[in-house]
Every structure is written in structure tokens, then in C-alpha cells.
Chains A and B, each alone.
Chain A
Amino acid sequence: MRRTLSAAAIWLVLLALLAAAALLSPGFLDPAYLVNIVRQAAPVGIAAVGVTLVMILGGVDLSVGAIISFAAVLCAVQMEGRVENIPFALATTLAASVAIGLFNGIVIAFNRVSPFILTLGTALAVYGLTQVYSGGTARGVVAPGFREFFNFRLGDLVPVLALTFVALAILAEAALRTTRYGRSLYLVGSNRAAAALAGLPIARLTIATYAISGLLAGVGGIALLARSGVSSTFAGRGFEFDALAAVVLGGTTFEGGRGNVAGTVAGVLVLFVAFNMVNMLGLDYNSQLIVKGVIIIAASAAYTRLNRDPG
């Protein structure tokens, strides 16, 4: 009962927030605007899907912001402004993102290190690599058609980018619910030692999950590139905070073994609707940071309380 409540809570929060926003500005409920919020959320949201998987496993991935930046730069450079380069650029970008995730996964799988600190270190190194690689400028020319494709509105309404985010989220949620991999994540996350006894391939799962997180962060980087073009070599900086806040808000805890992607999606949307409201109200943009911090603390505390094991 409590469990169902806690799962539904974030959706109720989202609804309440939307209602409040609609009262503030009738334009808020315009379908085009709502869909646009989903598109704004896509880069962070896609990365947050990966972070959700990692956190269900009992880990955490703070390198996603760096990977997003890295992927955006790398992809743009590989395209060299030519359509025929797009497949190669996408492939190399995703491969490189997976490689970073693999690195995280392998180190964490075979050592008793804190994923939190390790992925922070990885983030630092990846930011550095991005700078070395790009010489400090977001060089790279986006191929014609690339951004147009992702921003094309199906049925004149839903941008491909928003659809990509939703599709990836549904895919991940389905994987969690219906695949052996998803089930194994919950098992390992809720009790690693027991999972080892039950014969689950923990090292392989860990590596695969961090790799997926890297991959999705890479997709997030491509999404960012598609949404706003090449703008900076630090374009994804801070996204790890946002992703983490969304995941925690969505009910996935740091202890692992709990949570789902649907909650994360709601969490991402709550964050973005809240931020847009802050913007539209003309409040100081910086209060977003305070909101984010309080959300991380409050949501963690709330879920700790809800999930406290009675036995």
C-alpha cells in the first residue's frame, strides 16, 4: 500500500505542478508547449534513464554530464558538416560513450571503490579529454539535416527528439519489468552478496549497466547537439546533478534494489516544469539550484522513511 503510494506520489506532484502552472499562465497547457518541455528535458532525461538503471543496481554515475559534453563535441566534429558522415559520427560517438561507461563498470566491478567518487574522477578526466580533443572550442560542423530530423514535428506536434526520449524510457522500463537483465538489476541492487550466492553474474551486470549508462549519456549528448547545436565544450556540465535529482525524485534510492524508469521520467518532468515556472514567474534563475538541492535532500529523506524495513 505504502509502496503503491510512493510510486504514484511523483505523478501526483507532476499533476499538481501542471495545474498550478496552468493557473499562472493559460499558455502552459498548450499541447505544443507541453511537448516542448518534454523536448527540453530530453538530453537530461535520456541520461537519467541510464542513471536509474545504475542506481537500481546500487551504484551511481556522476560522469554522465561529462559524457554528454564529450559526445556532443565528438559527434559534431565527426560529422564535418556532411550528411554522409552522420552514420559514422553517431557510431563513433556512441562507441566512445560506451567505452567510458565500460571503464567505469570494469573498475567498479573488480574493485571495492566508491562509485560516487570514481565516477566523479572519471568526469574530471573526460572533461579534460574533451578539452584536449577539441582544443577548447566546440569545433565541428553539424551536418545539414541532422538537427532538422530530430526537431521535425510528427503530426506537426511531437518532435522526434521528444519521441526518442519517451521511446527510450519505455524501452528501459519494459526491460526492467520483463527481462532477465532487469530482474537481475533489482536482485543485485537489493542484496549483492545474496545475488552472488544465487549465481548471478554480478561483474558482467555491473559492467553492462555502466556501459548502458554511458551509452544513454552519449545519446543525451547527441540529443543536446540536436536541440541546441554546438555551443560549448562544457555543454553538459551540471546535468549529472539534474539527472540525479530526477532519479531520486522518481523514487529510485541510493541503496539500490528499488525504483523504476517511469518514476524518473516523472521526476525529470517535475524538475523541468518547476524550472520553467521559475522562469515564467520571473524568479531568480539561481533559485533553481536551491530547489534542486532541497529536492535531493527531501526526496531522499522521504523515500528512506517510506521504505524503512519494518523487520
Chain B
Amino acid sequence: MERRSFLLASAASALVATLGGPARAQTDRAAQERQMNETVDTTKFKKAGPYTVGVSAGYLSNSWVVFCLQHIKYEASRHKEIQNVLVTDAAFNPTKQVADIEDLVSKNVSLILYWPVDEKAIQPALEKAVQRGIPTINTGGGFTYGPGTVSNAFIDQWLLGEMVAKHLAADMGGKGKIFAMLPIAGTTAAVDQLAALKTVLKDHPQMELLTAEHGDWNRAKAKQITENLLQRYPRIDGVFSPAGQMSIGVAEAFEEAGRLKQVIMSPGDEYNGWLKWVQKHRQGGAVTFPTRAGQEALKLGLEVLAGKPVKRGIRIPSEYIAPKDVDKYVEPNRPDDWWASTLPDEWKPS
């Protein structure tokens, strides 16, 4: 029932969406591995403080992104040489993000951290910034390789998908019928997660993938799709759903159909609403999608400004949280739309 624009909006809203680029097959993974290990010569970006950090947000109306930004601000507070953090918000409008980046360049910021509405759309603007000697760091989303991006602090969707799939297979004892609930069709997240799932399933011939659906990071949509799937398939034994926000919708549909007991949910992420569900039902667990990506991005940027050589991309590793360990992470008095994080309390969003 959601409008497509909303789908895209929420698509972008999960940080993963940030890489809207063409689908990359697994064979590209070797190339990506090579690219991210390249060393970047940063001498031309070297400059003395004080620094002004520019953040070009493709969107801010999303909880993951808000936490990510808080991580950036927290890290900035720990460096005296950082005088100011300027944040622009394109509110899902790539044309505005291009303008935002141009405005940040006009303001002559020292460094630009960004997460795009649409990666390709802002490449020209980013390239101009780089030409003007302003380093750019892609923050959070998938790995970007191009002249507009000096370095990446990113989370690997393929590895995440693989971890989720392996835990699901283990929980199901290696057999049964499942479906996959994925983000927006065509995004790196959707493509890499599905590819990883299929790779894992090769080792488990008794597991059958019924269908892969796209719930677009939208809890309501995931719920509605699942309601229809429950009509279509009389037997579903497991669900592959790496995004906790959608997992809640899926689980609710099963629960309302009285079929929750028959199904095994895969790990989601550390989305608080999902963690609450895990705590209550003691199953599923989580594979994290760390919001501290923002903090890592700023650290990386400071190294660039110092003229130190850096790698083209650093990977922020996902971790598995078992259902029994979830109590350490869940914050029952916090909203569903919240992320388990390592932020000090005073830096958490109010």
C-alpha cells in the first residue's frame, strides 16, 4: 500500500541502501577486495587545523543515520582541532544533495563525510570537491570506488548476509522451506544478501528457498507481503531477514496467523525493536550493522587530513549476538526505532 516513493525513501533510509549502484556478482568481490586494500596518497589533502568537518547527509529522517551522525559528533568532540561540524540534509533529494555539496565547498570545509541519496548522482559534485583539495569519505553504506570518493568506512553486505544465512541454517538444522525478505530490489544490500544466502544454501541441499521478496526496509510493507505469502504457502519453516525493522513485520504476520511456532526467524540487526522481540521470544538473534561507522569515518578523515596514507576502504565488521546474549544490548525503555550502540549516554539522540 505504500507509494513507491516511500519505498525508495525507506530504502535509502536503511543505511545499506546507500550503494544504489549496479548489481555486483560475487566474482566482483575479489576486485573489491583488491580495491579496498589500495593505499591512497593523501599528501595533497594534508592541511593544518583547525578543521571544519562537513557532513552531507542524503537524509536524516532515519534512526540508523541519526545514530551514525551522533557518532560523528561524539568523535569530533574528542578532537580539539575540530572547530565545527556542518551538517546538510538533502531529505532524499539528490539534486539538493548536489547543491548541498556545492554549498559545503563554498563554505570551504576541510573534509566531507557523506552518505548519498543516490551514489551516482552526486559523483560529479564529489569529484569537484576532491579537485578543490577537500577529501571525501563515504560513510556507512557499501564500498564506493571512484575519483569522487577518497576513502570508505563501510559495512560489507555480503559478509553480513553470509553470517545471517549461516546462523539461520544452523538454527533450522539444515532443512526446511524458507523465504527471503530483502531490501529494495537492485540495491547492493538486496543483491549481496541474496547472493550470500544462495551461496550458503549450496551447502544445505535440504533447504528450499520459496521466494525472495522486497520489503523495502518498511515494517508495514514487510508485514503485508508476509500476510500474502502466508496465504500462498501452507508451509514455511524459516525466514531469512537480515534487517530487524522488517523482521518485526514478518514475525507479527506469522504471529497473527497463529503460525509463529512453526517458523524460525533468522538473525536481524541491532535495531532495538527487533532486539526486544528477540528478548521476548529468545530466538533469531542479531548480526550487527554498527552505527559507529560514523565514528570510524571521521577518524579515517582525520588521518587523511594529517597526510597519512590510508586504505581505500576500511570494513567495519558485523558481530553476531546470540538470543541468550541479547539482554546486554536491548534497551527496553527506548523506542523500537533505536540502535544498540557504544555511544556514551549523553551523546545518544534525545
The residue from A25, A231, A234 contacting B219, defined by CB atoms under 8 A apart: A231
Q: Which chain A residue has the least Cβ–Cβ distance from B227?
A: A36
**B323-350 contact mask (Cβ, 8 Å, vs A): 1 or 0:** 0000000001111111000000000011
A135 to B248, CA, bound (A): 23
Q: Write out the residue numbers on chain B whose beta carbons fall within 8 Å of the beta carbon of A279.
A: 224-225, 228
Which residues in B have their C-beta under 8 angstroms from that of A241? 3
Question: In the bound complex, how far is the Cα of B61 from the Cα of A279, in angstroms?
Answer: 28
B106 at the interface (CB under 8 A from A): no
Contacts A238-B2, A238-B5; is A28 near B231 (CB within 8 Å)?
yes
Contact of B266 with A by CB under 8 A: no
Minimum Cβ distance to chain B for residue A226 (Å): 11
Task: Digitize B193-219: 1 where CB-to-A-CB distance is under 8 Å, 0 elsewhere.
Answer: 000000000000000000000100011
Asked if B9 CB lies within 8 Å of chain A CBs, one says: yes
B126 contacts across to A, CB distance below 8 A: none
Residues from 45 to 100 in B contacting A, C-beta threshold 8 Å: 60-63, 65-66
Q: Give the size of the chain B interface in residues (CB under 8 angstroms).
A: 42
Say yes or no: B232 contacts A280, CB within 8 Å.
yes
Q: Is the CB of B231 within 8 A of A27?
A: yes
Q: Which of B3, B7, B9, B10 has the largest number of chain A CB atoms within 10 A?
A: B3
Does A40 contact B338, Cβ atoms closer than 8 Å? no
In the complex, what residues of B have CB within 8 A of residue A235's CB? 220
What residue of chain A has the Cβ atom nearest to residue B7's Cβ? Answer: A285
Task: Please state if B349 and A237 are interface contacts (CB–CB under 8 Å).
Answer: no
Residue of A nearest to B246 (CB): A231
Smallest CB–CB gap between B271 and chain A, Å?
A: 10
Residue among B9, B66, B248 making CB contact with A137, cutoff 8 Å: B66
Of the A-B pairs whose beta carbons lie under 8 Å apart in the complex, a sample of 21, sorted by A's number, is A25-B231, A25-B232, A40-B224, A81-B333, A137-B63, A137-B335, A137-B338, A139-B63, A224-B220, A227-B220, A229-B273, A229-B336, A230-B273, A230-B337, A231-B218, A232-B13, A232-B218, A234-B61, A237-B6, A285-B7, A289-B4
Chain B residue nearest to A28 (CB atoms) is B231
Which A residues contact B (CB, under 8 angstroms)? 25, 27-28, 30, 33, 36, 40, 44, 76, 81, 131, 135-142, 151, 224, 227-235, 237-238, 241-242, 272, 275-276, 279-280, 285-286, 288-289
Tell me the smallest distance from the CB of B235 to a CB of chain A, in Å: 14
Q: Is the CB of A286 within 8 A of B225?
A: no
* Separation of A280 and B245 alpha carbons in the complex (Å): 23
**A97 → chain B closest CB, angstroms:** 19
Complex contacts, B231 vs chain A, CB 8 Å: 25, 27-28, 30, 33, 280
CB-nearest residue of chain B relative to A128? B91
Could you tell me the distance between the alpha carbons of A70 and B220 in the complex, rounded to whole angstroms?
16
Residue of B nearest to A30 (CB): B231
B116 within 8 A of A: no
Given contacts A136-B60, A137-B349, A275-B1, contact A234 B6 (CB under 8 A): yes
B3 with A230: CB separation less than 8 A: no
Pairwise interchain contact B220-A136, C-beta atoms closer than 8 A: no
Docked complex Cα distance between A235 and B220 (Å): 9
With A27-B231, A136-B66, A137-B62 as contacts: A234 and B10 at CB distance below 8 Å = yes
CA distance A234 to B60 in the complex (A): 12
B140 on interface, CB distance cutoff 8 Å: no
From the candidates B9, B62, B252, B273, name the one contacting A136 in the complex (CB within 8 A).
Answer: B62
Please measure, in the bound complex, the distance between the C-alpha atom of A233 and the C-alpha atom of B214, giving whole angstroms.
20
B290 contacts across to A, CB distance below 8 A = none
- When the two chains form their complex, are residues B220 and A231 in contact, meaning their CB atoms are under 8 A apart? yes
Instruction: Check if B337 sits within 8 Å of A237, measured CB to CB.
Output: no
Q: Which residue of B lies closest to A153 (CB)?
A: B256
Contact code string B124-142 (vs A, CB < 8 Å = 1, else 0): 0000000000000000000
Interface residues of B in 274-309 (CB under 8 A from A): none
